[in-house]
Amino acid sequence: MVLRVYNTLTRQIEDFVPLNDKKVNMYVCGPTVYDHCHLGHARSYISFDMIRRYLVYRGYDVRYVSNITDVDDKIIARAKETGRDPFELSSRFTLSFIEDMDALNVLRPDVQPRVTEHIPEIIGTIQVLIGRGLAYPTSRGNVYYDLTRSLDRVGILSRQTVEGLLEGSGSRVEVEEDKRYRLDFVLWKSSSESEPGWDSPWGRGRPGWHIECSVMSMKYCAQQLDIHGGGADLIFPHHEAEILQSEGYTGLRPFSRYWLHNGFLTIDNEKMSKSLGNFFTIKKVLEEFPPEVIRFFILNTHYRSTINFSEQHLEEAGRAYERMANTISNIRYAIANAPGKGGDFGLLEEVGQARDSFIMSMDEDFNTREALANLFVFSRRVNAIISENSPDRAALEEVLAFLSEIDEVLGIFGKVLETHEEAAEGMSDGEVEAIIQQREEARKARDWARSDAIRDELKEKGIIVEDGKEGVRWKRS
Ligand code: AMP
Ligand code: ZN
C-alpha cells in the first residue's frame, strides 16, 4: 500500500514520494495573533496535526515547522483600537493559541518561529531578491516583488489568469500607489513612528506578510519542502507569493513538492472568521465540549471537505464519541474478568482487518472520515464478541493495544485509554483476586465486618466488587 495525497499544485491525488526517502519537511502557515483563535483555526491545525502524526505512523521522519505571525497590519489595527501595545497584544494571543493547541492535543511543532525574531534574515532575503532584479524598493521605503518578471508563474496554485486578476483588482482602490504594476506584492512596508518597525536599507519598516513563510521555512526546514500546508484561503495570494519568493531566492523548483489545503469550517454556510465576526473561540467551545469531542468532530469529516459548525453537530459528535469510548470501557471490564487462557473468539482477526482498513483509508489522502466509520464497525464487532463469549485476557489486551496504536494518529482516546493504564498500574488483576479471596474466606467465617472492610478498601482503590448468584464479580470503576 502506498500513501497518496491530493496536491493542490496538480489538482490530483498523487503517490507520496518525499525528496529524501523517509525524511519529510513539512511547513504549515501559523496564525496571525491578534485575538483568541476560533474553531476554524482548530480545524486547520488539527488537520495538519493528524497528517503529521499519520506520516510518523507510516514510518516517516517528519520535521514540522509552523510559524506565528506576530507583526501584521491586523495586529497593529487591533492594538490601536484597544489602546494596547502591539507586542503585548501579540504575546498574549500567541500564548492563548499555544494553550488552545495543547488543550486540543495538537502536538507542538518542532520549531514554531516568530516573525519578529527573524527580521535580519527577512531583510537579507529581500536584498537577494532585489539583487536578482526580482524586487524593487520605492522612494517611500517600500519594497515590492516585481510580478512582471514571473507572469508565467501567476496562477500556478490558484489557476487564475493575469487578466482575471487584473480585472478583479480593477475596482479596488490602490493603497500602495508606488507599485510599478498593479499585481506586485509587498515584501517590506515602511512603518510610521507609531507603528512597529525595524531599521533596514530602505528605512524603518516591517515585513510584508508573505515573505516570512519563505524565510522561516527555508531556515528551519529546507530550501525545498515536501509538504506545505494551510487553509484553502491561503492558496492565493499568500502561497503563490511564497512560491515566487522562494524559487526566486533559491533558483530551485518546486519550492514545495506537495501543497495541501484544508477546507473551511463554516457557520451558516459562511467561513468562520475573525473579520466576519461569526466565530466561536476555541476557549468558548471548550467550556461546553471536551477537547476529544471537538477533535473527533473535526476528524469525522475529510480534511478537504467543508464542515458546517453548529452546537447540534457537536452534540451529535459527542454521542458518537461516547459510543466509541464505551467500547473501551467494555473491553476494560472484560479484561478484569477475563480468563487467562481460552481463545480469542476471532478478536485477533478483527484487529488485523481493522488495522488494514485503517491504513487503507488513511493512505487515500488521509481519509479520517472513512477510518472512523470503519472503527465504528470494528467497535460493534468487538462488543458483540465480548458479550457472547469470554475471550482471554491477551486477546482483549491486543484490542486495546491496537486502539492505542491508532490513537497516536487520531489523538482522541487518550483519556479513556490512560484511565485503563492507570488502573492497571494501581493493582494487578492477580493482586485484586488475592484480596477478593481473603474476603471470601472472611465471608465463609461469617466475619461480615472484615468482609465489608475489604470491599470498602477495594472500592477506594477503584475496584467494585459485586456479589451475584454465580459468585463474586469485580470491575475497575
Ligand atoms: P489566520 O490567522 O487567519 O492567518 O489563519 C490561520 C490558519 O487558519 C490559516 O491556514 C487559515 O486558512 C486557517 N483558517 C482560518 N479560518 C478558517 C476556517 N474557518 N476554516 C478552516 N481554516 C481556517
Ligand atoms: Zn504562510
For 223-280, how does the pLDDT look when each residue is reduced to its tens digit (9 = 90+)? 999 999 999 999 999 999 999 999 999 999 999 999 999 999 999 889 999 888 899 9
Which helix (H) or strand (E) is 81 found in, with range? helix 73-82
**Domain extents in the chain:** 4-307, 311-417, 429-476
Q: Calculate how far, in angstroms, residue 227's C-alpha sits from the geometric centre of ligand 2.
A: 12
Is the fold of 4-307 the same as that of 311-417? no
DSSP label at 237? I
Q: For the domain bounded by 311-417, which CATH number is listed?
A: 1.20.120.640
Query: Is-contact 105 291, C-beta < 8 A?
Result: yes
Ligand 1 is surrounded, with C-beta below 6 A, by 29, 31-32, 40-41, 43-44, 230-231, 233-234, 262, 264-265, 271-273
Residue located nearest, by CA, to atom 2 of ligand 1: 31
Residue located nearest, by CA, to atom 17 of ligand 1: 40
Q: What percent of the chain has pLDDT over 70?
A: 96
The dihedral over CA atoms of 69, 72, 77, 83, expressed in degrees to the nearest 10, equals 60
Atom of ligand 1 nearest to the CA of 229: 10
Question: What is the best residue among 44, 45, 68, 301 to mutate for testing ligand 1's pocket, by most ligand atoms within 8 Å of CB?
Answer: 44
**Residue 284, phi then psi, degrees to nearest 5:** -65, -45
Question: What is the tens place of the pLDDT at every residue in 354-408?
Answer: 999 999 999 999 999 999 999 999 999 999 999 999 999 999 999 999 999 999 9
Cα dihedral across residues 46, 51, 55, 61: positive or negative: negative
Residue located nearest, by CA, to atom 8 of ligand 1: 41
Alpha-carbon distance of 37 to 30, in angstroms, equals 11
Which helix (H) or strand (E) is 152 found in, with range? none
| Angle (nearest 5°) at CA 6 between 2 and 9 | 125
Question: What is the tens place of the pLDDT at every residue in 402-426?
Answer: 999 999 999 999 888 886 556 555 6
Query: Is-contact 63 26, C-beta < 8 A?
Result: yes
Residue located nearest, by CA, to atom 4 of ligand 1: 31
Question: What is the tens place of the pLDDT at every residue in 126-178?
Answer: 999 999 999 999 999 999 999 999 999 999 999 999 999 998 876 554 456 89
Name the closest ligand to CA 301.
1
User: How do strand 265-267 and strand 270-271 relate by DSSP bridges?
Assistant: antiparallel
Residue where the block lists cell 469485580 = 474
pLDDT of residue 422: 60
Q: Calculate how far, in angstroms, residue 390's C-alpha sits from the geometric centre of ligand 2.
A: 54
Ranges assigned E (strand) in 268-417: 270-271, 307-308
Q: For the domain bounded by 4-307, which CATH number is listed?
A: 3.40.50.620
- 332-335's contacts with Cβ under 8 Å and 24+ in sequence apart are 332/400, 332/419, 332/420, 332/423, 332/475, 332/476, 333/475, 333/476, 334/386, 334/390, 334/391, 334/396, 335/393, 335/396, 335/397, 335/400, 335/429
Name the closest ligand to CA 303.
1
Higher confidence at residue 44 or residue 440? 44
Q: Calculate how far, in angstroms, residue 214's C-alpha sits from the geometric centre of ligand 2.
A: 8
Q: Calculate how far, in angstroms, residue 28's C-alpha sits from the geometric centre of ligand 2.
A: 7
Residue located nearest, by CA, to atom 16 of ligand 1: 40
Nine-digit cell at 180? 510599478
| Phi-psi region at 165: left, alpha or beta (left = phi > 0; alpha = psi -120 to 50) | alpha
Q: Calculate how far, in angstroms, residue 341's C-alpha sits from the geometric centre of ligand 1.
A: 52
Residue located nearest, by CA, to atom 11 of ligand 1: 231
Q: Calculate how far, in angstroms, residue 228's C-alpha sits from the geometric centre of ligand 1.
A: 14
Question: What is the best residue among 27, 29, 35, 41 to mutate for testing ligand 1's pocket, by most ligand atoms within 8 Å of CB?
Answer: 41
Q: Which residues pair with 228 in a beta bridge?
A: 27, 259
Q: Calculate how far, in angstroms, residue 425's C-alpha sits from the geometric centre of ligand 2.
A: 45
The rounded mean pLDDT for the chain is 94
Is the pLDDT at 281 greater than 60? The verdict is: yes
Residue located nearest, by CA, to atom 18 of ligand 1: 40
pLDDT of residue 340: 86
